[in-house]
Structure 1
Amino acid sequence: MKEILITTLRVFLSSSIALTAFLVTYLFNGLDLAPALGLGVVAYWLTSKGIARRFALPAAQHQLIDGADPHYQEKSYKEARRKWKVIGRYRFQVRSLSVWLKVARLYKIAEQILDITGKDLRQMNKAQAFFNHYLDATLTILEKYTLLSKQPISSDEIREAMQKINVGLEDLIRAYEEELNHLIAKDLLELDVEVNVLKQALDSKGEKK
């Protein structure tokens, strides 16, 4: 909770200072638009970094807040990457184009999730379902698909099972996407704030004319 409040405060103060820097340099000092915007961006970045550093929590305190052992997180992350690589290998065993597209989509989203969490293992807490359930479910479904697709016979039961596999993969894609959204929610919020700051700056320019 404290981390969320710090992020909100950082975005608000940084945006306010950036907007003030832009207005002062552009409206009152007569600086051209591009340099004024550049100065505003620099002001935002410096303020944001300064606040983040000022309120940064010690590593031990982060561990208490996250409630997870960093050694356990590292082990879980390595295991998740191993499972991701197995999913990647399944792409070369799929005979159906529609199934291949779904597996490729899952592989790509999983790669993005692992890239984000790999930079800060504490982020794994925001995608616990992905690490604890979804990867295993994906491997189970793909294992069954591979087994069924190699059968020399075709029956109603096999076709029904294949249909269920397709539905299961679609459900997993939506679940993966939701986990990825959890991870990038803060970045999207900051981007939205930055866009609003730029819009306000441009609106102020229009009012000046």
Structure 2
Amino acid sequence: MNRFLADVVPMLVAGPIALLVGLISLFALNQSFMISVVFSLVGGGLTYWLGSLYFTSRFLKKHQLTRKEYQYIKKNIDEAKPKIWRVQKALISVRHLSSFKQRKDMIKMIRKIYSLTKKEPKRFYKAESFYYSHLDSATELAEKYVFLAQQPRKNKELELSLTETRKTLKDLTKTIEKDLYKVLSDDIDTLNFELDVAKQAIKTRKESQIEESRRLK
């Protein structure tokens, strides 16, 4: 169950139910227009609430999370969103051609970690260092670099600070890459296992074919 669907489906169901309740109240039960509107709102609201409970329960069960755990994870992911926007905005505005690919890679990896943990909240536990430390560092460094680069007159000390900040951002990109690999570690392990199984199956098949060829000779 996708979290987006869990939020949207109850809304899509509640609308028609609210309309139906209002029409039944108005025409079948001969209630006044105002009372019918109240019944309609109550019916739609109750439908949305029950639907939200049901789909949220399915979502949490699928991802093996308690409601408290999910609220904690969601809070951290929501707080990260404006930071990611700030990092992206700062890194894009940097005018330094030789570091363009590195900055582009950092943005892609940050967005990938965010999208993975938002889609599958339990991955958050493998990305805690990213959310608690590395994202903040990237935000501060990127904005510091932009601020320094925008100064009209640059002396030797300022140029040195820019060089050091670029170097630190480059090192931080490698750290965030490790964060991404950590988030994907279970997928990588599963893929490696499946590759090993496939290789073993191919090897066994080849050995069987060789053995069969020998028998025929």
TM range (shorter): 0.5 to 0.7
User: What is the deviation of 1:100?
Assistant: 3.1
Given residue 153 of structure 1, which amino acid in structure 2 is its aligned partner? Answer: R
Q: List per-residue Cα deviations over 1:14-66 (Å, max 9, x = no partner).
A: xxxxxxxxxxxxxxxxxxxxxxxxxxxxxxxxxxxxxxxxxxx95897449xx
Given residue 115 of structure 2, which amino acid in structure 1 is its aligned partner? Answer: D
**Residue 115 (structure 2) pairs with residue 115 (structure 1):** yes
CA distance in 2, matches of 1:70, 1:186: 20
Number of the residue aligned with 1:184: 184
CA distance in 2, matches of 1:99, 1:107: 13
CA distance in 1, matches of 2:122, 2:196: 29
The alignment of Structure 1 onto Structure 2 pairs a total of residues equal to 150
**Residue 206 (structure 2) pairs with residue 203 (structure 1):** no
User: What is the deviation of 1:96?
Assistant: 0.6
Number of the residue aligned with 2:81: 81
The 8 Å contact of residues 102 and 173 in structure 2, kept in 1 or not, is answered as yes
The 8 Å contact of residues 134 and 172 in structure 1, kept in 2 or not, is answered as yes
Number of the residue aligned with 2:158: 158
The 8 Å contact of residues 109 and 177 in structure 1, kept in 2 or not, is answered as yes
- Structure 2, gaps ≥5 residues long: 1-59, 210-217
User: What is the deviation of 1:91?
Assistant: 3.5
CA distance in 2, matches of 1:145, 1:126: 29
Higher relative CO (CA 8 A, sep ≥ 6), structure 1 or 2? Answer: 1
The 3-state SS of whatever aligns with 1:175 is helix
Number of the residue aligned with 2:55: none
Number of the residue aligned with 2:28: none
CA distance in 2, matches of 1:62, 1:91: 35
% identity of equivalent residues: 27
The 8 Å contact of residues 126 and 182 in structure 2, kept in 1 or not, is answered as yes
TM-score (norm 1): 0.65
Residue 69 to residue 100, structure 1, CA distance change in 2 (3 Å): same
The aligned runs of 1:4-153 (5 Å cut-off) are: 62-63=65-66, 69-153=69-153
Aligned Cα root-mean-square deviation (Å): 2.2
CA distance in 1, matches of 2:131, 2:120: 15
Given residue 191 of structure 1, which amino acid in structure 2 is its aligned partner? Answer: L
Number of the residue aligned with 2:57: none
The 3-state SS of whatever aligns with 1:69 is helix
Number of the residue aligned with 2:54: none
- Structure 1, gaps ≥5 residues long: 1-56
The 8 Å contact of residues 87 and 103 in structure 1, kept in 2 or not, is answered as no
The 8 Å contact of residues 84 and 139 in structure 2, kept in 1 or not, is answered as no
Residue 197 to residue 150, structure 1, CA distance change in 2 (3 Å): same
The 3-state SS of whatever aligns with 1:95 is coil
